[in-house]
Amino acid sequence: MLVMVAGLIPLLMPITAEAQKQYVQKYYDRNGRVRYRRVAKPSFYRRHRNRSNVAIGTGGGAIIGALAGGKKGALIGAGVGAGSSALYTYKLNKKKRKYYKVRRR
């Protein structure tokens, strides 16, 4: 029974999936009113900048720690790399833009 249900799952899935391609960006017009303009979907790095930076910092710290001190050094290096990259990402170099998904009615 379970095999039959597992075999039907690919048939029940949609053939095409519509991904969201537009976002809105908030801005102020000449009169000071808040307006929203539609903008193209940002790149993968722009959307996931914080996660990417912390992951790269963690990996770099782990590699340096492994070269310096083996397994224990890799663990310590990963912690130091994650902390320092999080500090850089969230405090020293914050994002300047905010994107909001377009809500369809």
- Encoding tokens for residue 99? 């994107």
- pLDDT at residue number 59: 95
Residue 27 and residue 96 in contact, taking contact as beta carbons nearer than 8 Å: no
pLDDT digits (tens, 9 = 90+) for 45-99: 888 888 999 999 999 999 999 999 999 999 999 999 999 999 998 888 777 766 6
CA 89/CA 27 separation, integer angstroms: 24
pLDDT at 9 over 70: no
CB atoms within 10 A of CB 31: 6
Annotated domain spans of the chain: 21-101
Q: What is the pTM of this model?
A: 0.57
pLDDT digits (tens, 9 = 90+) for 25-40: 888 888 889 888 887 7
- pLDDT at residue number 100: 65
- Encoding tokens for residue 85? 């990259």
